[in-house]
Structure 1
């Protein structure tokens, strides 16, 4: 993963729209209305937590111990809230598409690729903390096609 490119592209998006995570959730709910029930009416606090989590992960990309501990804990919380493994693909796809839309022509396919790679790694660490499957339960794997599909960016 290219940490510098991830940080620069995040800064590009945040400079254009400091509330980009609010726009992300609006888009997520429009594209996947079934996830809206997992959230309260006021999405702003959740959007702030997401943005802080993204920044924290980027700051700790070189610290596998921190990533493992933090993302495992976050994964357990998400599992307890009813977040299913397939939702991770929806979130990644929607987040990258939202960032690309906000950045406009400055967003590149390479940025999309790097974000998809990073979000796939984050999802894998979070899903590793999910409880073991019981018969008939959905698999704890992300939809790799969704996460590694063609970039929606430009250039």
Structure 2
């Protein structure tokens, strides 16, 4: 994964007060309205947590142990909240679409490819935690 490209592209699209992640939820709820009931009416706290999680993942890209343990636990938690495996692809799709929108003409296909790879890896690790939670239940 190209950590530098991920960092640069995140700086391009990340705004003050969780602008990226707040807009992400607008896009997600527009494209997938069936998931909106899973969230509170005020998504600002969730947007702030998502932003922090994205930043933490990028900061720890070189720490496989941290990524695995953190994302497995996060996946298990999301499984408990009713998140299904297909929702991970929807989240990635909407996050990349939001990034493209916010990046405007400076957003490149290479940035989309880097985020597709990164979000796919995150989903794989979270789903492993999801499956671990299922096997314990």
Which residue in the other structure is 2:118 paired with?
A: 118
Q: Deviations over 1:122-151 (max 9, x none)?
A: 0000000113669xxxxxxxxxxxxxxxxx
Cα RMSD for the two superposed structures: 1.6
Unaligned runs of 5+ in 1: 135-155
Decide which moves more: 3-12 or 14-23: 14-23
Trace 1:39-118 onto structure 2 (pairs within 5 A).
39-118=39-118
Per-residue displacement from partner, 1:59-118 (whole Å, max 9, x unpaired)? 000000000110001000000000000000000010001001111000000000000000
SS class of match (2:76):
helix
Question: How far apart in 2 are the matches of 1:18 and 1:65?
Answer: 27
The one of the two structures with greater contact order (alpha-carbon pairs below 8 A, sep at least 6) is: 2
Runs of 4 or more, structure 1, over 6 Å off, are none
Contact 1:16 1:103 in 2 (8 A): no
What does residue 35 of structure 1 align with? 35
Cα distance in 1 for residues equivalent to 2:66 and 2:16? 30
Larger helix percent: 2
Separation of aligned partners in 2, 1:17 and 1:81: 26
- Give the match's secondary structure for 2:14: helix
| CA deviation profile, 1:25-82 (whole Å, cap 9, x unmatched) | 0110010001101101110000000000000000000000000110001000000000
Instruction: Give the secondary structure class of the aligned counterpart of 2:131.
Output: coil
Aligned partners of 2:6 and 2:114 also within 8 Å: yes
Q: Contact 1:24 / 1:94 at 8 angstroms: preserved in 2?
A: yes
For structure 2, the 5+ residue unaligned runs are none
Give the drift of 1:16: 8.1
- Give the TM-score taking structure 2 as reference length: 0.93
- Distance of 1:19 and 1:28 partners within structure 2: 14
